[in-house]
Amino acid sequence: MATKPTKLIVDCSTGERTVVELTAAEIAEREQMAQEAEAQRLAEEQAAADLQALKDSAKAKLIAGEPLTAEEADTLVL
């Protein structure tokens, strides 16, 4: 049987520590936050891959003596 996630509550005035199971709403919020974080990570990963592809294209065109697009030139100036 899987155990429910818990949180630690600390009363700073007394130092008392209490471990409490998360509510269904808290669990749902954590799952939503995890999904959003994963979507953000994937978006950042894709943006980095797109930028690298643009840089590679610009480099290849420079070596071949071909004109660059404005977007390719911007990647070299950054």
Burial 6-17 (b: 16+ CB within 10 A, else e): eeeeeeeeeeee
| pTM across the whole model | 0.68
**What is the C-alpha to C-alpha distance for residues 40 and 26, in angstroms, rounded to an integer?**
21
Confidence (pLDDT) at 74: 84
- Where do the structural domains in the chain lie, given as residue ranges? 6-77
**Backbone φ and ψ of 17, nearest 5°:** -115, 135
Each residue of 7-63: pLDDT tens digit? Answer: 999 999 999 999 999 999 999 999 999 999 999 999 999 999 999 999 899 989 888
- Report the alpha-carbon distance of residue 54 to residue 73 in Å, rounded: 9
Helix (H, G, I), strand (E, B) or coil at 2: coil
E strands, the chain, in order = 6-10, 17-21
| pLDDT at residue 66 in the model | 87
